[in-house]
Structure formats: structure tokens, C-alpha cells
Structure 1
């Protein structure tokens, strides 16, 4: 019993040191300002429902005020066979015309994805070549409608997913041929690449208990070499304090930009919602953490970088005001990225 008590006290002491160290690290105000290369995930209603001219004009104003350069308009999800029923995007052309009129220069991308079949669980089977071909035909429909790019969000995607990489190769050929962009949303990278094979050996890839689909360094580089833009879904951190949550955003910002910031445009995902089981993560914490991560860079990346706001349907005017206060540089400054 005595040894148990000593062990508990030792663990508690280590935890206290971690919390205290994180709190001290979190106090200085970041020097880095935000950038003018930023993205927004937008709700499906923009392509699936009619909108008035005033609503489109308001959207354009919002994008301009908040320095949004890319909008991922939800246009799917894919059906299991790789198609999207036309009725789901019947107002896409009107949207594209409105974006060009009221937000010139903003790239409107078709946000498409689905739950990927893994070990027999999921919706869309990317291992099926016929399904991948229909996905490409669907992508072509959206590009022909006037979208500036294709934004993929298939989940889960593991570091050894060859079918996904094949789809990325073929999609890149398609978007290049039509003068469009290819962007992709990925989970936050693994903290230790060596842990992924261990997780794979010990845990299944589906069900309630499964190993996390975290990109390894090699996988992230390979995706970055195929994509024009990579958005890292950095949110849902589930850490107990604001300083630890901020450290999470700072760490992933620094490591991701160092790893692929010279290869592709990077958007670090930030939440404008409060996760159900997380009382420490919010938009100001995320933005401050990302700025701290930028401060830690030895040099800025060669490609543009910024944040991806998730999402327009959870961002109220007060959240946008907090975003503008913490992130975009003043209008007289040049972009940081």
C-alpha cells in the first residue's frame, strides 16, 4: 500500500509539472499575425437550396471581411457507387455565379466525401476500381458546373491506403486537365509514426475500438505532392486545459508546416463550435495556438498557409468578430504566408 501511495504521488507530481509548464508557456502573446490564405467549410444548403440575391451578397461580404480565399461547399456526400444525385446540387450553378459576382477571386470548391469502407465497415469502397471511376466522373460534373476545385473528405484514411492514393493521382490528372484545384482534408498527424504499426497489430480498423487514422510523415508528404491544398482537421483535441489545447494547435502547426509547407498550401483547421466533451477548446485558443506554432518556425513556408474555419453553420457573428480580432492581418499589412 505504501508503494501504491508513493506511485500515485509521483504521477500526480508529474501531472502538476506538465500543467504548470504548459500554463507558463501559454502566457506570452504570440508575435505572429494571421494570413490572407484561409478556407471555410460551408453547409450543403448553398448548393441544395435556393437563395436570394441578398443572401448571396451577404455571403460575399462575409468572405471578403474575413479574408477567406477558398470555400469548401458541401456538395455530396457520395453514394456508395461513387455518384451524387443531381437533386442534391440543383442550385450549384446559381451559387457559382453569385460567388464570381460578389466574391471575385474566392475559389469555390466542391466538398465531397463519404465514410470509407474499411474491413467491411463503411459506405464507399475505394478499393473497387469501378467506384473510383464513378467518383472521377462525378468530380468532372462539378468542375464542369464551374467549381474551382474538388475537396475530398473521406474518413477514415490510414497511412497505408493505396486505393486512396490511386484516387488522388487520378483526380489530380482530372483537375489539372480542367484547370482546377485538388484539396483534401486529413486527420491531424500522428505524434509518433512508430506507433501506427503497433496500433495496427493490436487494434482493428473498425468498430468501437479501433486505431486512429493518423497520417505518418511519409503519407502526409505523399498526399502533399499530389494535392494543391491540404486541410488538417486539428480540432476535437479533448485536452483538459486551454494551455494544453493551445499547445496541441501550436505543435501541429509547426510540425505540419515544416513537413509539407514548401510542397502545398496548408490550412490548419479551427473550430467555431464547442465539442461536447471538451471545455478547453474554442476558436480563440485554436487561433492563439496556431500563431504560437508559427512563432516557432525557423522560416516561413514557401507556399501560402492559413486556417480552415469549421464551419459556416456553427459560426455566428460573435465568433467571426473573435476570428477577425485574433487572426487576419490589418488591411495595410502584406500576407504572412
Structure 2
């Protein structure tokens, strides 16, 4: 489609099928990416999503360096990024600190931050966290483009995601509040990344158009 950049979503489970600390595995993974982009030159680049990905993992930095240096010039390298730790969910295997953001941002063209699965049970607290993360993460990425990931999926029954709290309405209200604190909209802010389109209903799309697209 004209005006649409397509980035295939690649990756997998850390130390399940993805081993960024292994030079041999990285070489195979990078080679498969190069082959994919050569076979489909209309692709704009790739989006790497390896979950979980521990804070300060050096193998991942090496992987991103090797991808960027191997693919054709001008192709986008995007990554699924983890938000900072919180008192509700402090675990370093699924949260990144400021220094790691700086390292990752130096190796890629775009970060899509997964701002959900927080274990928070109160909507106002989640909105406040989204606002705080918005103001923290965007500056941490320097000139690298940032998409703020928002939830529109149903993961009922798990202890880290509550649909009545982590939803499109609360996340967008929080992001808008955070963005309003900047004197000017940061140049590296690219918008939001909605996860996931295939579970987003008509009511959610209407809210998205009213509260995000028009603001």
C-alpha cells in the first residue's frame, strides 16, 4: 500500500529459540534477515521482538549491531522495547533502565515500547504511569524514533494484565497527559503502536480516532 512501511515481526523466546549471547546463533539469525530482505526488497526493514530480554544484555547489543551492518542501507531496524521497572513489577528480565535505552537507541532506527503487563489494578495509577513513562522514555532515546505501545488485547486470567485497567482508553489518556508536559512535541516521538490490531473492536477504534488521531 502506498505510504505504508511494512516491517516483518521477527524473533521469539529468549533462550528458548533465540540465543543472542551465541555468536553462532547470531550469525544464522542475521543471515536469515539478509535473505528475507533480498527476497522481498519492498520491505522497509525488520522489527525484532525477543521476549523476555534482560536489562543490560550485551549479546542483544551485538545482535543489533550485526543486523544493522549487514542489511541494505536505508532499511529500518526496529525493536520491541521494555519499559522501566516499577514498584509493582520490578523484574529486570522484562524492564530496561536508562543506560540500556541509550545503548539500544544507538544501534536501531526505532523503538516500540511495550507499555503494558504492569500488574497494576487501578486505572488512575496506570494512567499516571503511562504519563511518567512517556516523559522518561522519549528523551532517553535521543534522536531515535519512539513508538509508545498501547494495549488492546484480552489476556484475562493472568496476574500481570487486567483488561479493565490496561486498555486503549487509559493508556492513551496517560500518554496524552505525558506529552502535554513537554514544551514542544519531541521530534523523535513517532506516535503509538497498538497491540494488537486483530483484537481491537469498533468501540476502541472510535476512541482511538477521537482521542488520538485528532489531537
Question: Would you say the 8 A contact 2:48–2:80 is kept in 1?
Answer: yes
Name the residue aligned to 1:113.
Answer: 11
- Structure 1 Cα separation of the partners of residues 36 and 195 of structure 2: 22
Q: Does 1:307 align with 2:192?
A: yes
Secondary structure of the residue aligned to 1:141 is: helix
- Structure 2 Cα separation of the partners of residues 304 and 239 of structure 1: 25
Name the residue aligned to 2:32.
Answer: 138
Corresponding residue to 2:62 among 166, 174, 197: 166
Q: Does 1:269 align with 2:120?
A: no
Deviation at 1:225, TM superposition (A): 1.2
Name the residue aligned to 2:213.
Answer: 328
- Structure 1 Cα separation of the partners of residues 203 and 86 of structure 2: 33
Name the residue aligned to 2:78.
Answer: 183
- Structure 2 Cα separation of the partners of residues 131 and 190 of structure 1: 29
Change (3 A) 1:324 1:236: same
Deviation at 1:212, TM superposition (A): 3.7
Deviation at 1:241, TM superposition (A): 1.7
Quick check: which one's helix share is greater? 1
Between the two structures, name the one with larger relative contact order (CA 8 Å, sep ≥ 6).
Answer: 1
Q: Does 1:240 align with 2:121?
A: yes
Q: Does 1:254 align with 2:152?
A: no
- Structure 2 Cα separation of the partners of residues 143 and 123 of structure 1: 21
- Structure 2 Cα separation of the partners of residues 189 and 298 of structure 1: 23
Name the residue aligned to 2:44.
Answer: 148
- Structure 2 Cα separation of the partners of residues 158 and 240 of structure 1: 25
State the Cα RMSD in Å: 1.9
Q: Does 1:226 align with 2:107?
A: yes
Deviation at 1:298, TM superposition (A): 3.8
- Structure 1 Cα separation of the partners of residues 185 and 92 of structure 2: 33
Secondary structure of the residue aligned to 1:108 is: coil
Greater radius of gyration (CA): 1
Q: Deviations over 1:239-297 (max 9, x none)?
A: 2221111111111111111222x321101100112442513221011101000010122
Question: Would you say the 8 A contact 1:156–1:213 is kept in 2?
Answer: yes
- Tell me the TM-score normalised to structure 2 length: 0.88
Deviation at 1:216, TM superposition (A): 1.2
Structure 1, unpaired ranges of 5+: 1-102, 193-198, 200-209, 331-337
Deviation at 1:125, TM superposition (A): 1.8
Deviation at 1:222, TM superposition (A): 0.9
Question: Would you say the 8 A contact 2:80–2:111 is kept in 1?
Answer: yes
- Tell me the TM-score normalised to structure 1 length: 0.58
Structure 2, unpaired ranges of 5+: none
Name the residue aligned to 1:125.
Answer: 19
Report which stretch shifted further, 160-169 or 292-301: 292-301
Change (3 A) 1:298 1:191: farther
Name the residue aligned to 1:290.
Answer: 175
Runs of 4+ in 1 over 4 A off after TM superposition: none
Query: Which runs of structure 2 are paired with 1:196-207 in the superposition (5 Å)?
Result: none
